[in-house]
Amino acid sequence: MLQVKEENLKEIDFEKGGGLVPVVVQDASTKEVLMVAYANREALEKTLKTGFAHYYSRSRRKLWKKGEISGNTQKVKRVLVDCDGDTLLYIVEQKGVACHTGEYSCFFRTVGEEK
């Protein structure tokens, strides 16, 4: 469980993004950016309470735990907030792959580069 006081959550501006903030996810050991997702307050609270990454799915309009079905979980080591208070950074220990395509990171393609 991550130790964060309730008053610290007040510095996060969920309203700017209509109740959601982007979450950049970075591998704790390699520093590789794994993915970008979104969190509402409930997803962040569950992440902090359980120590595992929870997000809000904009397409399904519901909360989800990363790896709940696939087993590719993210154990969250640290949660950082940017200077504007409207973006989070999860530093994680990734189990398995992060991307639903089977790639380790969602950032495996270069713009304009042929496959």
- As a whole number, mean pLDDT of residues 65-74 equals 96
**Residues 2-12 pLDDT 10s:** 666 666 688 99
Q: Is residue 78 part of a domain?
A: yes
- The model's pTM is 0.91
- Which residues span the domain enclosing 39? 13-94
CATH number at residue 74: 3.10.20.810
- Provide the domain count of the chain: 1
DSSP state of 12: S
Find out whether 26 and 90 touch, Cβ atoms under 8 Å.
yes
Decide if 58 is inside a domain: yes
How many C-beta neighbours within 10 Å does residue 108 have?
10
